[in-house]
Amino acid sequence: MKDLSQDEWVEQLKKDKNAVVLDVRTMDEVEDGVIENAMHLDIYKGQEFISALEKLDKTKSYYVYCRSGNRSGQACAIMDELGFKKAYNLDGGILQWTGDLVSYK
């Protein structure tokens, strides 16, 4: 797991052909908008969250964010424990995001 600044996160994401953007906020938060192409898994779902993570492809790179960077940091730590080799936390979360947001589909 690695904490990345927004600039690092965006730059690395652009170059990564094996990337998945993962939003770990609540559904209420997600309704305010997401980073484009984000997959949503609510970290507050507990075992349901862990079960969903276990179904993901561990060979991919995951760019994880939440509201402030705390929950996404926790999510990255859980992913590390589950055997994910490439999980990147957006430091500062969506609160410091200056890019565009789109409606969650």
CATH topology of domain 2-96: Oxidized Rhodanese; domain 1 (3.40.250)
Q: How confident is the model at residue 1 (pLDDT cuts 50, 70, 90)?
A: confident
- Catalytic site positions: 66
Q: What is the pLDDT of residues 7-29, one digit of tens each?
A: 999 999 999 999 999 999 999 99
54 burial via Cβ count (<10 Å: 0-12, 13-18, 19+)? exposed
CA distance 67 to 49: 17
- pLDDT for res 105: 72
25 burial via Cβ count (<10 Å: 0-12, 13-18, 19+)? buried
Q: What is the pLDDT of residues 69-88, one digit of tens each?
A: 999 999 999 999 999 999 99
Task: Determine if residue 92 is left, alpha or beta; phi over 0 gives left, psi from -120 to 50 gives alpha, anything else beta.
Answer: left
Q: What's at 10, amino acid-wise?
A: V
